[in-house]
Structure 1
Amino acid sequence: MTFSSKLLLFGEHTILRGSAALALPLPLFSGTWAYSTPENAPALQRNLEEWCQYLAEQQSKGALGVELDLSRFREDLAAGLYFDSNIPNGYGAGSSGALCAALYARYALQPIERTDAARYPELKRILGQMESFFHGSSSGTDPLIVYLNQPVLLQADGSIQTLEVPDWPIASDGYQFFLLDTSIQRSTAPWVNLFLERCNEVAYLQSIQQELIPLTEQAIAGFRAGDWPGLFEKWENLSALQKVNFAPMIPESFQALWAEGLKGGHFALKLCGAGGGGFLLGMGRTGHLPSNAILLERIANSE
């Protein structure tokens, strides 16, 4: 079984101030359990042994909220088990989230079913506790999206709803989604902290609440309706607002391209997650995308 990367399509940072967020599994990258020879496995396993120990400690304290078959996990590690993944680290694409979802799916003795919507908040908390080993703390959002393998609408009040969404726009629709690789690994926490600090400024918070959040909600509605021309207009407006409000989070080497897209009217860029590096997410008119665009042609929905 493979576990996809994830894509936060809308709601970066603004969900912390009351907006919804829309996230999807991203089949462009993925990971799966695999076996190697005992002599080669340690280099591939990296910190899985340490993670297993962390999970055992959390489980013994009753802090995990789930019983994992860690004895079998240890046996499998000794036999050469590792997580074979091409999800880039430090990009906000859910590399550790995919690993957590994969371990939960394989070793949870009484896993919460993917169809049990009433228990999604509980599942999110469990997966967040598992992922905290990698980040110090985790909301559990990334592994939840990967585990459910469905588009998810997240509300600021903590409610979680899986969605049916339209196919990605394709070339014949006149619009396409794409990623840009900044080649910069980053950590989420510093950029989240910067956003929260800026929200202490009255004028900044007003811009977020009165402009960016309503526009984010409108963009989510446009995406769900499959209204690509209308969504592109909203995307351009989001790009312009992010250029002002999230300027420090846009890598300096991509600021000129960001401005070029807005000026030309052919494509527009926005953050893909917390910013500071990783991927940038774009929407543009067919035939007018940046030369290094990574096209997102496939639907990010489960079968």
Structure 2
Amino acid sequence: MTFSSKLLLFGEHTILRGSAALALPLPLFSGKWAYTTPENAPALQRDLAEWCQYLAEQQSKGALDTELDTARFKQDLQAGLYFDSNIPNGYGAGSSGALCAALYTRYALQPIGRMEEARYPELKRVLSQMESFFHGSSSGTDPLIVYLNQPVLLHANGRIETIAVPDWPTETSGFQFFLLNTGIQRSTAQWVNLFLKRCTEAAYLQSIQQDLIPLTAQAIAAFRAGDWPNLFEEWANISALQQVHFAPMIPESFHTLWAEGLNSGHFALKLCGAGGGGFLLGMGKAGHLPPGAIILA
């Protein structure tokens, strides 16, 4: 079974302050369980053995709200099991989320089913506990998206639902989504902590709540309606606000290109996840995308 990367299309950082968010699987990258010889395994397993031990300890302390067969996981690792993935680490594409979803699928003794929508908040909590090994803390959103393998709308009130989304805009529609590779690997926790620290400032928090969160809701509505001209306008408005409020999270080498997109009206950039590096997410007018754009079709 293959587990894809994920894309947080809307809600970067604002989800932590009560906004809605929309995320979906990103088949551009993926990973799956595979076997190699026990001699070659350590080089490919990275920190899987440490993770196995961590999960076993959490389970024994009652800090894991699910039952995993960690003994079988350990045996499989000794036999050469590893996660064969091309999802880039530290790029906001859900590399650890895919790994968590894969482990839960393979080793959860009583897994929550992918169609049990009423239990999605519980599932998200369990997956966050598993992923905390990698980030210190986790919302559980990334592994949830990968596990469900469907577009997911996370409502401001905590409700989670899978949704149908329109086809991606293509060149004939006049607009296209794309990624830009900053070439910088980053840590999620660092930038989340910065955002939360800035939110202790009254003026900053007010702008997030009164400006950025409503724009995010409007962008989600335009996306779900397939209204690409309106979405491009909302996207550019979000980009302009992120240029101000998330400036430290935008790699310095991309500040000029970010401004160029807004000034020209040809494209607009957003963070892809926490920021600080990894990918940038863009929407632009067909034929006017920046150099290096990876078009999402």
In 1, are the aligned partners of 2:12 and 2:274 still within 8 Å (CA)? yes
Match of 1:113 in 2: 113
Secondary structure of residue in 2 paired with 1:63: coil
Match of 1:203 in 2: 203
Structure 1 residue runs of 5 or longer lacking an equivalent are 298-303
Match of 1:36 in 2: 36
Amino acid at match of 1:75: Q
Match of 2:49 in 1: 49
Structure 2: how far apart are the matches of 1:209 and 1:67? 38
Secondary structure of residue in 2 paired with 1:270: strand
Structure 2: how far apart are the matches of 1:255 and 1:134? 29
Structure 2 residue runs of 5 or longer lacking an equivalent are none
Amino acid at match of 2:13: H
- CA drift at 1:191: 1.3
1:52-201 mapped onto 2 (5 Å cutoff): 52-201=52-201
Structure 2: how far apart are the matches of 1:194 and 1:56? 32
Identity of aligned residues (%): 82
Secondary structure of residue in 1 paired with 2:221: helix
Give the TM-score taking structure 2 as reference length. 0.98
- CA drift at 1:107: 1.0
- CA drift at 1:156: 3.3
Alignment of 1:248 with 2:248, yes or no, is: yes
Amino acid at match of 1:230: N
Structure 1: how far apart are the matches of 2:271 and 2:145? 19
Structure 1: how far apart are the matches of 2:46 and 2:86? 15
Residues 60-107 of structure 1: CA deviation (Å, up to 9, x unaligned): 122211111222212211111100000010112110110010010011
Structure 1: how far apart are the matches of 2:180 and 2:96? 21
In 1, are the aligned partners of 2:250 and 2:275 still within 8 Å (CA)? yes
- CA drift at 1:198: 1.7
Structure 2: how far apart are the matches of 1:177 and 1:292? 13
RMSD across aligned positions (CA): 1.0
Structure 2: how far apart are the matches of 1:46 and 1:11? 31
Match of 1:301 in 2: none
Q: Structure 1 residue runs of 4+, over 6 Å off?
A: none
Structure 2: how far apart are the matches of 1:71 and 1:192? 34
Structure 2: how far apart are the matches of 1:202 and 1:55? 39
- CA drift at 1:278: 0.8
Match of 1:11 in 2: 11
Structure 1: how far apart are the matches of 2:204 and 2:107? 45
Secondary structure of residue in 1 paired with 2:4: strand
Residues 118-158 of structure 1: CA deviation (Å, up to 9, x unaligned): 11111111111111111111111110110001111112332
Match of 2:293 in 1: 293
Secondary structure of residue in 2 paired with 1:130: helix
- CA drift at 1:18: 2.1
